[in-house]
């Protein structure tokens, strides 16, 4: 009887990749601290100590970058490294004497050390033009431009609390909740190439994909196609993936919006949805200067005015929307007023303005 094939789906087992001291003391840690930004120090019940050095990466890694990180790990960290969910790379060492040479080696290769404590960690983002099937912008490019501007807040711990930023290349937003979220914003319904729909798209799938029932089958010039009820369409772009002839990406009409106040954690306040604060920013690669300027206004106002340990959304809830827009200098428009009556049952706990 032949051996069973390895299961290639799901998360791989963690144990084989753990640092020996992490494996030995798993679940038996006594205390931890941060000797400096970017360095975590854990002490186990047994007396063993582990130092973790965290550095930022560009997330979209080429083979040369991966080899450079592995070479650093082999030479300075006994061959152990791991990536966090926000694309930081962490090296674990068993001796404090290994920390300084490791930080120096990372700096020489251009990897900044930081992202711990009250700082901006690496920006989580979607795949963008490299992998995603419905991108309207390059999320990784936006991240690179933003982190160049916010580098000082990554390598220092001088914010009121941790600040999490995400970026999404499509309006469906697999970038997730964040204190500040930078998301694409389609402003026009899809333009349909009726000559291709019948040959390329499974029309029932496309109709089912629309979350607001704005798409229905149609005959156009005697050919099977689709049509859009533009009064219902919310320009989300969900129809583009199963039907590329329903093109919604547009260099002029696909904009960028910034949302604030989202968080997953349940510490000090319950989880919250993020809320729109800036819309219609130009999708302007390769540096997205308008996006960087708006995000920096929010970060600097939060840094200067928030109380210690307040998350960004908690700060806004305390001072109110009016004061938030005053401090950031961002324009307040009618689109910031939540007048959708259907949301009152589920969104009444948010900081939306209502009438």
- Please tell me the class of the 15-108 domain: alpha beta
How far is 307 from 269, CA to CA, in rounded Å? 14
User: Tens digit of pLDDT for each residue in 134-178?
Assistant: 888 888 889 989 999 999 999 999 999 999 999 998 887 676 789
Q: Where, residue-wise, is CATH 3.30.70.3340 in the chain? A: 15-108
The CATH class for the domain spanning 191-247 reads alpha beta
| Low pLDDT (below 70) residues in the chain | 1-2, 173, 175, 338-355
Q: Which fold has domain 124-187+251-346?
A: Sulfite Reductase Hemoprotein; domain 1 (3.30.413)
Task: Give the per-residue pLDDT at 341.
Answer: 59
Do 262 and 177 touch, CB atoms closer than 8 A?
Answer: yes
* pLDDT attached to residue 337: 72
**Token pair of 174, please?**
């697999």
Number of Cβ atoms within 10 Å of the Cβ of 293? 11
| pLDDT value of residue 51 | 97
Q: 62-109, pLDDT tens digit by residue?
A: 899 999 999 999 999 999 999 998 889 999 999 999 999 999 999 999
Q: With contact defined as beta carbons under 8 Å apart, do 298 and 260 qualify?
A: yes
42-64 residues labelled b (16+ CB within 10 A) or e (exposed): bebeeebbbbbbbbbbebbeeee
What are the start and end residues of each CATH 3.30.70.20 domain in the chain? 191-247
pTM, rounded to two decimals: 0.88
pLDDT recorded at residue 128: 81
């Amino acid at each position: 009887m032949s051996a069973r094939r390895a299961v290639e789906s799901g998360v791989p087992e963690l144990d084989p990749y753990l640092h020996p001291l992490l494996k030995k003391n798993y679940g038996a840690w006594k205390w931890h601290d941060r000797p400096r930004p970017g360095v975590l120090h854990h002490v186990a019940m047994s007396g063993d100590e582990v130092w973790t050095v965290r550095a930022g990466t560009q997330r979209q890694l080429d083979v040369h970058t991966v080899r450079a990180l592995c070479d650093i790990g082999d030479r300075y960290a006994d061959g152990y490294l791991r990536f966090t969910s926000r694309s930081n790379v962490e090296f674990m060492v068993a001796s404090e004497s290994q920390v300084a040479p490791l930080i120096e080696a990372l700096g020489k290769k251009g990897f900044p050390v930081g992202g711990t404590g009250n700082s901006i960690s690496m920006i989580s983002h979607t795949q963008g033009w490299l992998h995603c099937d419905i991108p309207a912008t390059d999320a990784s490019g936006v991240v690179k431009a933003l982190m160049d501007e916010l580098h000082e807040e990554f390598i220092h711990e001088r914010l009121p609390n941790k600040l999490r930023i995400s970026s999404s290349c499509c309006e469906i937003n697999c970038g997730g909740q964040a204190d500040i979220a930078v998301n694409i914003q389609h402003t026009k319904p899809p333009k349909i190439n009726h000559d291709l729909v019948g040959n390329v798209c499974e029309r029932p799938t496309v109709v089912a994909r629309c979350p607001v029932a704005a798409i229905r089958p149609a005959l156009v010039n005697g050919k099977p196609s689709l049509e859009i009820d533009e009064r219902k369409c919310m320009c989300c772009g969900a129809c583009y993936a199963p039907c590329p002839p329903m093109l919604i990406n547009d260099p002029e009409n696909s904009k960028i919006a910034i949302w604030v106040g989202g968080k997953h954690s349940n510490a000090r306040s319950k989880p919250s949805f993020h809320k729109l604060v800036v819309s219609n920013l130009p999708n302007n690669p390769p540096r997205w200067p308008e996006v960087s300027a708006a995000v920096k206004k929010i970060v600097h106002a939060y840094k200067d005015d928030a109380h210690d340990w307040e998350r960004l959304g908690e700060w806004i809830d305390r001072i109110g929307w009016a004061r938030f827009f005053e401090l950031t200098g961002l324009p307040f428009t009618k689109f910031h007023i939540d007048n959708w009556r259907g949301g009152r049952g589920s969104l009444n706990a948010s900081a939306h303005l209502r009438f």
